[in-house]
Amino acid sequence: MKFVAVVSTLLIASASAFAPAASSERAVTALNMDRRSAMGAVAAAGVVVAMPSVASADGAVSKATQQRSKYKFGVRITALKDAVNKGDFAAVAAEKNAFVLYNSGAFPTLKQKPEKSRAIAATNKIFAAIRSKDAGALKTSYADYLKEVSMSDYQAKLDSSQGQGYSTDSDYRARTPQAAIYVR
């Protein structure tokens, strides 16, 4: 509603700027604004029209978005198990974003701030081990991270006797090891 009021006010203001001035003796057409001001008013109206409504943004934090984030990035983190056991520092470092996105997506609310800070601290230990090229520290810090965030085994195959994994092709678990679907 505010958006419509702002746009209509801008349109009325720009239209009144181009209205002819009233004269007692003869009708004289005069513009009260130069080209630069007129283009500025039109550009401002265009920006207001193109601007999204910021007041209606809710952040979209829900249990479903948290589960999706945990699964999407948890799969990438648990897939690093063999690389960690081999001491492949480059493979773990290449998935740094998975750790960052898991931490921010799995613990998005203020109530979860302590869990998020512990997960970030555990992530920092992993990357400190990578920087020092210490394979033993990498193994222990990776195991500690998985315990700290209560990471599920996303690489485990889910069969239909355990439940339905997904229901549509647009589900984030479709075409993954946990994509079991119950069919009679």
Do the domain assignments include residue 161? Answer: no
In this structure, is residue 75 part of a structural domain?
yes
Helices (H), 51-169: 63-78, 81-86, 89-94, 96-106, 113-132, 135-148
Q: Are residues 48 and 108 in the same domain?
A: no
Q: 101: which 2 tokens?
A: 């996105």
Percent of the chain past pLDDT 70, that is, above it, reads 65
Half-sphere exposure of 9 (CA within 13 A, CB side): 8
Q: What is the pLDDT of residue 84?
A: 95
Instruction: Verify that 80 and 131 share a domain, yes or no.
Output: yes
Q: pTM, whole model, 2 decimals?
A: 0.61
Do residues 85 and 125 both lie within one domain?
A: yes
Query: Is residue 168 included in any domain, yes or no?
Result: no
Domain tally, the chain? 2
Range of the domain at 39: 2-56
The reported pLDDT for the residue numbered 136 is 95
Q: Quick one: CA dihedral 162, 163, 167, 173, positive or negative?
A: negative
Same domain, 77 and 41: no
Q: Is residue 40 part of a domain?
A: yes
Distance CA 168, CA 166 (A): 6
Asked if pLDDT for residue 133 goes beyond 90, the answer is yes
Whether 180 is covered by a domain: the verdict is no
Q: How confident is the model at residue 162 (pLDDT cuts 50, 70, 90)?
A: low
In the structure, what pLDDT confidence band is assigned to residue 108 with cuts at 50, 70 and 90?
confident
Contact (CB, 8 A) for 105 and 64: no
Q: Please write the tens of the pLDDT for every residue from 163-183.
A: 676 777 777 777 777 777 766
Confirm whether 132 is domain-assigned.
Answer: yes
156 falls within a domain: no
* Residue 92: count of CB within 10 angstroms of its CB: 21
Is the domain of 134 the same as that of 69?
Answer: yes
Query: 175 lies in a domain?
Result: no
Note whether 136 and 72 are same-domain residues: yes
Q: Which of 56-70, 90-104, 145-159 has the highest mean pLDDT?
A: 90-104
| CATH number, domain containing residue 73 | 1.20.120.1740
Same domain, 16 and 41: yes
**Buried residues in 157-170 as b, exposed as e (16+ CB within 10 A):** ebeeeeeebbeeee
**Of 33 and 85, which is predicted with more confidence?**
85
Q: Is the pLDDT of residue 31 over 60?
A: no
What confidence tens digit (pLDDT) does each residue in 39-88 have?
A: 777 676 665 555 655 555 556 678 878 888 888 898 899 999 999 999 99
pLDDT at res. 90? 95
